[in-house]
Structure 1
Amino acid sequence: MKKIIKSLLLLLIIFLGCSSLLHAQNVESYTLQQLQDSALRNNHVLAIKKWQIKEKEAKVKEDEIKRYPVPIMNGNYQRIFNLGAITIPKGTIGEFPLSPTNNVLLPNTDESFNVGKHNNYSAGLSVYQPITQQAKIKTLLKVDVADKESTEKERFKMSLQIKQAIVKLYYGTLISQKQLDEAEAKLALAQSKYTDVENALSAGKTINADKAGLQADIADEEQNILKINIQIQDYIGDLINVTGIDAGSLKLAEIEPVVQQINELEEYKKEAGNSNADLQIANLNKTKAVLGIKAARQSNIPDIGLVGGYSYVFGDAILPANNPFLGVVLKWNIQDIFSNKKIVKQRQFQLKESEENILNTQLTVNNDIEKTYRKINQSQALIAVAQKVVFYQKEELKLQENKQAAGLNVKTDLLNTKSLLAKSEADMYAAQLSYLMAVSDLKILTGQ
């Protein structure tokens, strides 16, 4: 019976171990592109910009309505407690002779008549069609469209910045993981050296040994491993928060960046002049300033429009019950002629500010493109050298492993080579990160 129970327990342990192994193998690896796509889908700031764009689109449609006739319905009810009266004094109409000696006054007494009714009702519909304001409304619509396009450019630039942030976190994590491999190899190397010294002391082969120094090296590497693990946890936590992925941890797929052939510097400057988000926003601000000046001047035009409608009145003794009407309306605030001059001045100053901002933005973008262009070339050279170092360190590791198998070296030689390989891989990832960040900066600057 005991053997059966032991067998069942052994099978259960094996099953649980296999399940854990399968679960570990099923952990999904996320590529850089997947993380960037997830971040763009789940970013709340981008969602805010998306709703702002929809808000601007609704504002355009709202102002378009102002171009069309404005129908106005009205109604009124009044209860009149004291009605007016018309009195005809006695004899006002004249006299009626009944006989040569008897004349009757018409009317023969004062007569009073109420005017109107106690309950007064009125209802009507009027339609106003603006005419002279059509030009100003069209100008304001252009301002609304420019405002919407500016928000779209801001959202586009923000999406590029989010993708760049994912690149930093992604490669920062990979670099830290390689640094962790290096630190673990150094720890194993320090522990191996300490063990060798212990064995040498026990065998009486040496009497001078810096045991305290080796213990300090071990403690230092343990501390370094702890720091790197904390840094990796912070990177992973930031990636989870930024991408919105519902996971306790992330496994990152390692990739080799494709080093692309870059174009001439002047081509990027020309492309930035047409597509850079900051430049486009600056130009849109200038457009809005020009349109603002135009709209302010158009405000001096009197508001003339056609009006027509129909009203029904009940209970009024003077107005007829049915009243159709058609006419022209003129509204002109004379004070606007003077205040609009000051508004035009303000908009002209805004125009000058926007022109200066365009020049400054153009200069800044060109300088940034030049620096980024140099950084890309420098990073490409660093990647090429770093890849060579990694290749040779891997060859050295194979050689040390073969020597270890043949008993031609000691364990510390192998551990030292592993440490150097991990360091060279971390350096290579750092060079790749520098390259990708420069490429990302160039895409942002050129509006790609």
Structure 2
Amino acid sequence: MKSFLKNIIMLAIACSLSKQHATAQAPTYSLQQLKEVALKNNHILAVKQWQIAEREAKIKEDETKRYPTATLNGNYQYNFNLANITIPAGSIGILPLSSTTQVPLPNVDKNIEIGNKNLYNIGVTAYQPISQQIKIKTGLEVNRMDVAITEKEKQKIALQISQGVEQLYYGTLIAQKQLEEAQAKLAVAQAKLGDVETAIAAGKTIDVNQAGLMANIADEEQNILKLSIQTQNYKSDLVKLTGIAEEDFNLQELPLVLEDITGIESFKTSVSSNPDIQIASLTKEKADLGIKAAKQSTLPDFGVVTGYAYQSGNPILPSHNPFVGLNLKWNIQDLFSNKHLLQQREAQAKQAEEYILNLQQQVNSDIEKAYRKVNQSKALIAVAQKVLEYRSKELKVQEDKQLAGLNLKTDMLNTKAQVAKANADVYAAQLAYTLAVSELKNLIGQ
């Protein structure tokens, strides 16, 4: 059973190592390239961009409400029956032709049809709102505020994506360094087991430590397997986040430049640049505009009406009729309902104010936490570099001893494993510092 389990672990390690060898020919991405690809391929960012386009089109649509509204209408009607006017005989008078002959006017009853069976009517009417101009202007300001809010939401998502890529990128690099450390420890454990087996075969020792050494090998194999799986998971998450086509790829290791950070007060004074606070501030301004619009809704709708009408078939009405006039419409119920609407908008504005205050407290707390993490990571870097310096000196001593034949192979391998661990610790501390700085900058929208 133990042999079977060992074979499985070794097979997994072999697959991992062969996969790492295969990825040597795979494409290599830098952190900046991964960020650019992630921002380009992200669907949520694309949705936000289309939302911006939609809201900008809404602004243009609402801008047309400021100009006259023209209505063209036409009508055709066929009348089967027309109105008749009957003039009775003699109703106009009597025409005396002679003393004996008198002719009534008209001499018989006359029936006259009024109008025409074919009736045409066409006209155009234009209405220019006047009193609603200020309300339309407020509505346009609300629409522009929606565009600004959506743009800030897009910026926030972009920052979150970039930070997510950084975390996965640095996490992968740290896991790879830890994998190198684990492989070095495995080599040490295997060398120690080899020394013991050689000693047993030569009859110089008994089988007392062999099981413990095999357990150490199994532990390191397990650790290698865990780190290999962790690295694969990080890369899989990077593929999902960035949308790159390759499943196997390498990460370009750039020289780490530790950026100096100014005092915490400079970050706290820039808290207004935080995307969440900016979105909340824009929401507050939008709520204020809603209050303004609610007050303007009580105004009557007053405007100018002008147009032209042409008709044919009705002799009573003129054929051509240009006209101009005024229009007034006032919904009295709005005077009462808008009072409650105004209360709702004022409550929304108060909610926005409280939300901004809460966000400011939260962001300030997060800045303090991130700044503390920066200082802690900086201290860890100094300690890790000191350990690495001492381990490197120890390795130089072991190399000199090996040249003189004064130490064992396991001594050298063990020191190399310690140096690998020190390297991994320095690298992890440096990347932790970089991530903490990135988190601190993201909190102020950089």
Instruction: Give the TM-score normalised by structure 1.
Output: 0.89
CA displacement, residues 38-71 of structure 1 (integer Å, 9 cap, x when unaligned): 2122221112112212222222222222112222
User: Which residue number corresponds to residue 174 of structure 1?
Assistant: 173
User: Which residue number corresponds to residue 119 of structure 1?
Assistant: 118
Cα distance in structure 2, aligned partners of 1:281 and 1:269: 18
User: Which residue number corresponds to residue 319 of structure 2?
Assistant: 321
8 Å contact 2:258–2:430 — kept in the other structure? no
Cα distance in structure 2, aligned partners of 1:140 and 1:174: 51
Letter matched to residue 255 of structure 1? L
Letter matched to residue 136 of structure 1? K
Long gaps (5+) in structure 2: 1-21
8 Å contact 1:60–1:141 — kept in the other structure? yes
User: SS of the counterpart of 2:122?
Assistant: strand
Deviation at 1:395, TM superposition (A): 4.0
8 Å contact 1:80–1:117 — kept in the other structure? yes
8 Å contact 1:259–1:380 — kept in the other structure? no
Which of 422, 435, 438 in structure 2 is aligned with 1:440? 438
Deviation at 1:196, TM superposition (A): 1.7
Deviation at 1:402, TM superposition (A): 4.8
Report the more deviating stretch, 280-289 or 406-415.
Answer: 406-415
Deviation at 1:210, TM superposition (A): 3.1
Letter matched to residue 214 of structure 2? Q
User: Which residue number corresponds to residue 101 of structure 1?
Assistant: 100
Deviation at 1:99, TM superposition (A): 3.2
Cα distance in structure 1, aligned partners of 2:24 and 2:236: 21
User: SS of the counterpart of 2:443?
Assistant: helix
Deviation at 1:352, TM superposition (A): 1.0
Deviation at 1:324, TM superposition (A): 0.7
Cα distance in structure 2, aligned partners of 1:25 and 1:195: 31
User: Which residue number corresponds to residue 363 of structure 2?
Assistant: 365
8 Å contact 1:197–1:209 — kept in the other structure? no
CA displacement, residues 377-415 of structure 1 (integer Å, 9 cap, x when unaligned): 111111222233234334434443454455432222232
Matches within 5 A, 1:418-429: 418-429=416-427
User: SS of the counterpart of 2:366?
Assistant: helix
User: SS of the counterpart of 1:193?
Assistant: helix
CA displacement, residues 124-162 of structure 1 (integer Å, 9 cap, x when unaligned): 222111111111111111111122111111111211111
8 Å contact 1:130–1:304 — kept in the other structure? yes
User: Which residue number corresponds to residue 414 of structure 2?
Assistant: 416
User: Which residue number corresponds to residue 297 of structure 1?
Assistant: 295
8 Å contact 1:189–1:415 — kept in the other structure? yes
User: Which residue number corresponds to residue 132 of structure 1?
Assistant: 131
User: Which residue number corresponds to residue 354 of structure 1?
Assistant: 352
8 Å contact 1:311–1:322 — kept in the other structure? yes
Report the more deviating stretch, 366-375 or 115-124.
Answer: 115-124
User: Which residue number corresponds to residue 251 of structure 2?
Assistant: 252
Rate the CA distance shift 1:128–1:348 in 2: closer, same or farther, 3 A: same
Deviation at 1:328, TM superposition (A): 0.9
Rate the CA distance shift 1:105–1:166 in 2: closer, same or farther, 3 A: same
Letter matched to residue 381 of structure 1? A
CA displacement, residues 138-194 of structure 1 (integer Å, 9 cap, x when unaligned): 111111112211111111121111111111101110111112112222222222222
Matches within 5 A, 1:146-157: 146-157=145-156
Cα distance in structure 2, aligned partners of 1:166 and 1:401: 40
Cα distance in structure 2, aligned partners of 1:160 and 1:391: 37
Instruction: Give the TM-score normalised by structure 2.
Output: 0.89
Report the aligned-residue RMSD: 2.2
Rate the CA distance shift 1:406–1:113 in 2: closer, same or farther, 3 A: farther
Deviation at 1:349, TM superposition (A): 0.6
8 Å contact 1:167–1:436 — kept in the other structure? no
Cα distance in structure 2, aligned partners of 1:391 and 1:246: 41
Deviation at 1:297, TM superposition (A): 0.8
CA displacement, residues 15-44 of structure 1 (integer Å, 9 cap, x when unaligned): xxxxxxxx9776443221221122122221
User: Which residue number corresponds to residue 311 of structure 1?
Assistant: 309
Cα distance in structure 2, aligned partners of 1:240 and 1:329: 63
8 Å contact 2:23–2:249 — kept in the other structure? no
Deviation at 1:220, TM superposition (A): 2.6
Matches within 5 A, 1:11-160: 27-160=26-159
User: Which residue number corresponds to residue 4 of structure 1?
Assistant: none
Corresponding position: 1:191 with 2:198? no
User: SS of the counterpart of 1:73?
Assistant: strand
User: Which residue number corresponds to residue 398 of structure 2?
Assistant: 400
Cα distance in structure 1, aligned partners of 2:403 and 2:110: 137
Report the more deviating stretch, 107-116 or 396-405.
Answer: 396-405
Rate the CA distance shift 1:342–1:52 in 2: closer, same or farther, 3 A: same
Report the more deviating stretch, 213-222 or 228-237.
Answer: 213-222
Long gaps (5+) in structure 1: 1-22
CA displacement, residues 322-354 of structure 1 (integer Å, 9 cap, x when unaligned): 111111111111111111111101011111111
8 Å contact 1:29–1:251 — kept in the other structure? yes
Rate the CA distance shift 1:257–1:322 in 2: closer, same or farther, 3 A: same
Report the more deviating stretch, 399-408 or 200-209.
Answer: 399-408
* Identity within the alignment, %: 58
8 Å contact 1:293–1:348 — kept in the other structure? yes
Report the more deviating stretch, 301-310 or 311-320.
Answer: 311-320
User: SS of the counterpart of 2:269?
Assistant: helix
Cα distance in structure 2, aligned partners of 1:419 and 1:91: 135
Cα distance in structure 2, aligned partners of 1:109 and 1:388: 132
Corresponding position: 1:379 with 2:374? no
